[in-house]
Structure formats: C-alpha cells, structure tokens
Amino acid sequence: MDIKIPFLGDGIDSATVIEVLVSPGDTVAVDDTLAELETDKATAPVPSTAAGVIESIQIKSGDTVSQGMLVATLKSDGASASATPKAAPAAATPAQPTPAPTPVQAAPVTATASSAYQYVSSTGSPPPTSPSIRKMAHQTGLDLARIQGTGNGGRITIEDVRAHMTMLQARAFAPAASSPAAPAPASSAPSTPAAKPLPDFSKFGSIRKEAMSSLRQKIASNLHSAWNRIPHVTQFHDADITDLMTMRKKAVPKYEKKKARLTVTVFLLKAIVETLKKHPQFNASYDEATQEMIYKEYYHIGMAVDTDNGLIVPVIRDVDKKSMLELSLELADISERARDRKIGLEDIQGASFTLSNLGGLGVGQFTPIVNHPEVAILGVGRGGLKPVQDGKEVVYRSTMPLSLSYDHRVIDGANGARFIYDLAQSLESFDASLLKE
C-alpha cells in the first residue's frame, strides 16, 4: 500500500523533509513515524497508516513535499490505523481542459473580480481555496489575495478565478483612448521591489555559499512582511527590579524543590498580563479589510526562543489563569521542545502579545519587530546596577531595560508611554502573594 503526505494544516501548502526515519526492509507498526517535516516553524510527523514492511522510500531529506505526495510503499500485514488521514486530492483524475475565456462583452466586471479588493487575514493565513487552484496560482503568478471568493466561508472557486481573469483580460485589451487620463488603480498591498543582483564576490576573495533553510526563509518572509505592513514605534524605559530580585531569591529554593526554575521571565509574564488588562488595545489585532479592532479576551503570550535553527515563537496560553509555578514549568518545557524541534503547529499559533527576552545574551535595549497580526511586542534586555537619586543620596538599584514596539496605526505614542510605565510599575511593586502555591 501507499503511504502519502497527510493534511498539513489550514493554509499550509508545503513542507520540507527534515529527516527520513525508516529504510527499505524496516518493519513498522501503525502510527510509527516514517519521516519528520518542517512547516511554518513547526515540526510534524508522517505516521504509518498500517503495519508492515517498507518496500521503498520516495522522499529524502531536504525535499519539498505537499499533501498527497507519495512517501513510501508498504507491504502491509493487514493491520491499519483506526482513523484514516484526510484524503489528499485525487491526482489520478485527469484535469479537465479549461474552457476558453468568455468574450469580454459577455462578462461584465463584477465586484467579485474587482482589482480594488485585497484579502487580509487576521491570522496571516492565505485566502481559502482548493489545493489545485492554489497550485495553478503559484505556477501562473496569479495573486489570489486580489480575488474575492464567493464559495462557503469566502472560499475562492474556479468560477471566481475565471471572472477575475476575464476582468484582467478586459483591462489589458481596453482601448487606451477610452480613458486617457485615468490613473492606474492603486494597490492596497505594499509593493516589494525586485531583488537586485549581487556583485560577483568571488572576484575579491574566497567565498562559500549555503542555502537558507526553509525555517530561515519563513522567518525572513514574516519579518519583511511585518516591517513593510506595520508603521513601527519603539519606546524605551528602565524598570527598577531591586525588590523583585530580592523576592525571587527568597522563592528560588522552594521552586527548585518542585523541579521548577523561577526566572525573571516568569515575573514578566504576570506583569505583562496585568498591564494588558489595563490597556486592552495592546492585546488586539487590526483588521485592515473591515477597519475594525479585534480585542482578545484571552492572554496567550508568544515567547521568542533562540534556537540553532532560528527564531521560534511558541505560545504560552492563558497566562492569567496559571500560577507562577505552572508558568515556570511550562516555560522550561516549551523552550526545550522548541530547541529540540519538537514544537507542533498548534504550539506556535494564537498569541495575542509577544515577549522577546535577550537579557541572557548580555544586550541592552533594542527594537523588536511586531509579530503580525499582533499590534505590540516587548523586548527585554540585561539588567544591571544603575545609580539612582534617593533624596540627597545616590544609591545603586537593579534596573532592567524595556523596549516596547507597537503598531502606530492603532496605538498612539501617549498610550505606548502609559503602557510601558504601568508595566514598569507592575514589576517594581510585584505582588508577592503570586509566589505562594
């Protein structure tokens, strides 16, 4: 029997093979992992749907695969999985020839095919459509975000694509004299300049080339999109954490007995949630398509984790409902899984605010980039002693640099100042009762 790539997740078209874990001749059981894939910063296993002996392997490390592609052939012993993975598109069905375009006169341009439309997702996912249409769009360079779907849930149908193509054809062949002064329609999407060719560096000395990993490419794409889409403002402030550090030092032994590491990051998580409750516009998303603010009534904090493979942002959910001990244990667990590439897709989705703590790397203030579709991110640098005026005396206090970046379209500078000030106050007067278990 054939083992194929299963459903990868909503909005995910392809993945990269990290490692193939079996070889021809190996005996496998139901749900044994045959290979590991990397998709959108997460890793996903390819399970065997039956027990038997591997006859052949059709993929290798580094391959780009999509749903329905053949992974391996298996000589089954009759045992099969109780649940069959979501069926992939039937590749054996011959594609029907695309009908010739309808004459322009018979196909008036409708709002569905209007070039003024721009699909914007609050989750960052692509427009909903079938894999075959997505593949066709990729091969032809068609921008699906410009097509308004008329199917269930706004899904783009083949009729929508045809209507859009007819509209483009009508515009391309319209007589120039019909509207000599009409300006070209403005696109709401930021334009991306074409990549400029680099000079031949080998003329100047020895060089070495290395392909970017799919994870690094995804990081680059996401950050580029966020930087172009969001007008960033970053505000800086120092929080006095002298009392907090004393409090932490006293509580560390108690936490260690419970196999938990009480770090400053755990205090930050609680302080962030307290501040977000006072300033709900920071725990929100901006829907550009509807010009609406989406206020989230949950507090899922993304944690930027530095790994050997690049930046990964797993999410700690319901921070407001968890104790300091629970957060300490979960933070250690999710950070370790991120570094070991054992993070699943569900672990990196749904954040309402992100924390990037670079204090352990010895840096001070920096300018973090907002993780779209969120509207704000907090950067934290390394704490240290700083002279502070106390009456007529100068004393040294432990301070921690804070860097708050936010979307200036929806958050004004005054609100940013209030948020970072209240956050510092929350750290400086941290509620010691939260450390009790």
| Verdict on whether the full-model pTM lies above 0.75 | no
Average pLDDT, the chain: 82
Residue-wise pLDDT for 168-199, tens only, equals 877 776 665 444 444 444 444 455 566 778 88
Is the confidence at residue 120, as pLDDT, over 60? Answer: yes
309 and 389 in a single domain? The answer is yes
Within-domain flag for 93: no
- pLDDT greater than 60 at residue 83: no
| pLDDT at site 90 | 39
CATH code where residue 120 lies:
4.10.320.10
> 407 and 290 in one domain?
yes
Note whether residue 98 is domain-resident.
no
What gap in Å lies between CA 170 and CA 155, rounded to an integer? 24
Please say which residue of 80, 97, 126 terminates a domain.
Answer: 80
Instruction: Please check whether residue 207 lies inside any domain of the structure.
Output: no
The domain in which residue 69 lies consists of 2-80
* Inside any domain, residue 370: yes
165 shares its domain with 65: no
pLDDT tens digits, one per residue of 139-178:
777 888 889 888 766 778 888 888 888 888 777 766 654 4
- 311 and 221 part of one domain: yes
Q: What's residue 100's pLDDT?
A: 44
| 103 in a structural domain | no
- pLDDT confidence of residue 178: 44
In a domain, 200, yes or no: no
**Which sign, positive or negative, has the C-alpha torsion 134, 135, 136, 140?**
positive
- pLDDT of amino acid 152: 65
pLDDT in the model for residue 112 = 43
309 and 408 belong to one structural domain: yes
* Domain CATH code at residue 221: 3.30.559.10
The pLDDT score that the predictor gives to residue 124 is: 59
148 and 32, same structural domain? no
If asked whether residues 256 and 372 sit together in one domain, one would say yes
Q: Model confidence over 208-263: pLDDT tens digits?
A: 988 877 777 777 888 888 888 899 999 999 999 999 999 999 999 999 999 999 99
Residue 60 pLDDT greater than 50, yes or no: yes
Catalytic (active site) residue 408? yes
Which residue's structure tokens are 């941290």?
430
Q: Which of 224, 279, 372, 408 does the annotation list as catalytic?
A: 408
Residues 18 and 159 in one domain: no
Could you give the number of structural domains in the chain? 3
Q: Is the peptide bond before 373 cis (omega within 30 degrees of 0)?
A: yes
Q: What is the pLDDT of residue 119?
A: 78
Least confident of 36-40, 73-77, 200-204, 358-362: 36-40
